[in-house]
């Protein structure tokens, strides 16, 4: 454990750190997930001295760890089975989290089913998991079917500077019956949805409306590095469910991705969704390809 030289990350480390993150995410989730520009923006917004650390062995970067939002530890390893460094990182991140607050801290970690090193690390260090997500995928070899919108329902693209609040309210209202949902204020929702990132593309956000009222949303993201379209949030308000709006929003999103020559589409969904969302996604041809787990611990 002492063979590693550990210090906070510096801006000069960013390219080497990005390579480790991209490789681990590709192994765990099938794509890089985080563009270099987004990592740079993150580093500009956090305290690198307090929220990150890098480890070197023989002059080479062996790993990177970060604590996001004071409670979410993330660990990235150059050598996938490096248990010693993973444990050292976790110990450091937990100490950082404890230093932020005097009261108990609820730690939250996201671990891929494919990453046995991290799964075992968090399990043996007191983290528990009762929530898992499926990553589902659709590869479009031809144009998808056209959506069949219910009577009185229309769809349009999100208009920046106009639709932020109504989209936020719709997404939050529709998320209330998700068993894991923690209500977000507007500022935290903006951050969660990546609206402050360079990759944010409002033309990929679609609003289902009845008159002037927004009743459902499909909030999509394009991952340029992997040429993948992600359905980040699909939400339909409770009073408008069971009418085919969710399916129509999906097909409308697929059609726009296909028009842009984006043929690989993914999303993540609660494996035990109270609204049986995986069944909806299967009905439009999506298949489960991976799984990840949410681990929590109170310190």
Q: What is the pLDDT of residue 141?
A: 95
> What are the DSSP E strand ranges found in 121-227?
128-139, 153-157, 205-210, 213-223
| 142-176 pLDDT, tens digit each | 999 999 999 999 999 999 999 999 999 999 998 88
285 pLDDT above the threshold of 90: yes
Beta strands 228-236 and 264-270 are parallel
Structure-token pair, residue 120 = 């075992």
What is the DSSP track for 8-43? ---GGGHHHHHHHHHHHHHHHHSS--S-HHHHHHHH
Q: What is the pLDDT of residue 180?
A: 63
Residue 178 pLDDT class (50, 70, 90 cuts): low
Mean pLDDT across the stretch 54-81? 96
Distance of CA 72 to the CA centre of its chain: 13
Q: Which of 48-52, 225-229, 232-236, 291-295 shows the lowest mean pLDDT across its residues? A: 225-229
Residue 118 pLDDT class (50, 70, 90 cuts): very high
Mean pLDDT across the stretch 213-233? 94
| 12-22 pLDDT, tens digit each | 999 999 999 99
Q: Which of 41-50, 197-206, 230-239, 269-278 shows the lowest mean pLDDT across its residues? A: 269-278
Strands of the sheet containing 52-57, edge to edge, are 5-7, 52-57, 60-68, 72-77
Whole-structure pTM value: 0.83
Nearest Cα to Cα of residue 245 among 150, 170, 175 = 150
93 pLDDT above the threshold of 80: yes
Taken in order of first residue, the domains within the chain and their CATH numbers are 5-126 (3.40.630.30), 136-291 (3.40.630.30)
Residue 1 pLDDT class (50, 70, 90 cuts): very low
């Amino acid at each position: 454990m002492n063979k590693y030289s550990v210090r906070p990350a510096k801006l000069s480390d960013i390219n080497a750190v990005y390579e480790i993150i991209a490789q681990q995410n590709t192994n765990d989730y099938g794509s890089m997930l985080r563009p270099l520009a987004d990592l740079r923006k993150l580093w500009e917004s956090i305290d690198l001295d307090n929220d990150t650390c890098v480890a070197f062995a023989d002059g080479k970067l062996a790993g990177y760890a970060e604590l996001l939002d004071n409670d979410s530890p993330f660990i990235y390893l150059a050598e996938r089975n490096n248990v010693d460094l993973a444990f050292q990182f976790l110990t450091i991140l937990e100490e950082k989290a404890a230093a932020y607050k005097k009261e108990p801290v609820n730690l939250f970690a996201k671990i891929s089913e494919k990453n046995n090193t991290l799964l075992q690390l968090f399990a043996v260090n007191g983290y528990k998991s009762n929530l898992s997500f499926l990553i589902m995928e659709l590869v479009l070899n031809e144009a998808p079917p056209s959506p069949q919108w219910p009577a009185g329902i229309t769809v349009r693209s999100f208009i920046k500077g106009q639709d932020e609040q109504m989209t936020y309210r719709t997404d939050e209202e529709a998320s209330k019956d998700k068993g894991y949902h923690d209500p977000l204020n507007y500022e935290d929702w903006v951050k969660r949805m990546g609206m402050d990132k360079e990759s944010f593309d409002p033309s990929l956000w679609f609003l289902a409306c009845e008159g002037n009222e927004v009743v459902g949303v499909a909030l999509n993201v394009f991952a340029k590095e992997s040429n993948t379209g992600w359905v980040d949030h699909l939400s339909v308000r409770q009073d408008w469910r069971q009418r085919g709006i969710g399916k129509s929003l999906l097909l409308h999103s697929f059609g726009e991705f296909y028009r842009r020559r984006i043929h690989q589409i993914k999303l993540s969904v609660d494996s035990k969704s109270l609204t049986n969302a995986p069944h909806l996604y299967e009905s439009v041809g999506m298949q489960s390809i991976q799984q990840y787990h949410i681990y929590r611990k109170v310190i």
